[in-house]
Amino acid sequence: MPSRAHRLPTDTENGMLLVISGPSGVGKTTITRAVERSIPGAVFSISATTRPRTGVDVEGVDYYFIGEDEFDRRVGSGEFLEHAVYNGHKYGTLRAPVETNLARGRLMILEIDVQGAKQIKERMPEAFAIFILPPSEEALLGRLRSRKRESEDDIQRRFRLAQQEIAEARRSGAYDAFIINDQLDKAIMEAIRLVTDRRARL
C-alpha cells in the first residue's frame, strides 16, 4: 500500500482485480466498459500484444504494441501476470501497472481470455472472475454474422473458437460467476451488482 504521504485523495483500501472473459461477439467489451464507468476509481488494464497495429489502433489506449522478441524478453523477466496466444498473436497483462493500481485501492479490470484467466487465478486467487455467455450458440452465431465484418469462413472459425472457449471456461474452475447476456442492460446490472458485492466484502 502506498505510504500515507504519497496517497491520493481517491485512494481506497479495497483494491480488487476483476477478470472479465467471454467469446467473440458475446458483448463482453460493452459490459466491461459499463462496469468501468459505473464504479468510481475503476481502471481498465491495457494489454501488450504482438498483433500488428491497424490504422484505428491507438498506442497505449487500445494496446501496447511490441515485437515478438521484446514480448518474449518480458515474459522471461517475469514482467507479465499472464500471457497467451490467441489467433496467432501473443497477448499479455503487464504486472507493474496492475500492482500499482491495486495498491491504491482501485478496481483493476482485465478483459482477457480463458488461458489468461487461469494464470491470473493461479497467481492471484483472490481475483474475481466473470465469464459472459451468449443465450445460446445460435444467438452467438447470429451476432457474429450481424457484425458484417468478416467472411462466412472467418465467422465459422470464430464460432468454433467460441465453442471451445465456453467449454474450457466451464471446465477450468477459474470463474467465480457466469452471466448470460440475453438482455444487455440486465447483464450489465448483474455484473455491476456482483462486483460491488464482492468488493464490499474486502
- Domains of the chain (ranges; CATH) run 13-200 (3.40.50.300)
Cell for 7?
Answer: 496517497
Cβ atoms of residues 92 and 46 within 8 Å: no
Average pLDDT value over all residues in the chain: 91
Q: Which distant-in-sequence residues (6+ apart) come within 8 Å of 98 by Cβ?
A: 17, 45, 81, 108, 110
Residue 179: which of 170, 191, 162, 168 has the closest Cα?
191
User: Parallel, antiparallel, or unpaired for β 107-111 and 43-44?
Assistant: parallel
What pLDDT is recorded for position 4?
45
What pLDDT is recorded for position 3?
44
Cβ atoms of residues 82 and 119 within 8 Å: yes
In this prediction, residues 96-112 reach a mean pLDDT of 94
Q: Is the per-residue pLDDT at 77 higher than 70?
A: yes
What pLDDT is recorded for position 87?
77
Residue 39: which of 201, 202, 189 has the closest Cα?
189
For the beta sheet containing 177-180, the strands, ordered from the edge strand earlier in sequence to the opposite edge, are 43-44, 107-111, 16-21, 128-133, 177-180
In this prediction, residues 4-29 reach a mean pLDDT of 79
Least confident of 72-76, 129-133, 154-158: 154-158
Amino acid at 185: D
What pLDDT is recorded for position 2?
47
In this prediction, residues 163-168 reach a mean pLDDT of 96
Cell for 187?
Answer: 447483464
E strand or H helix that includes residue 156: helix 152-172
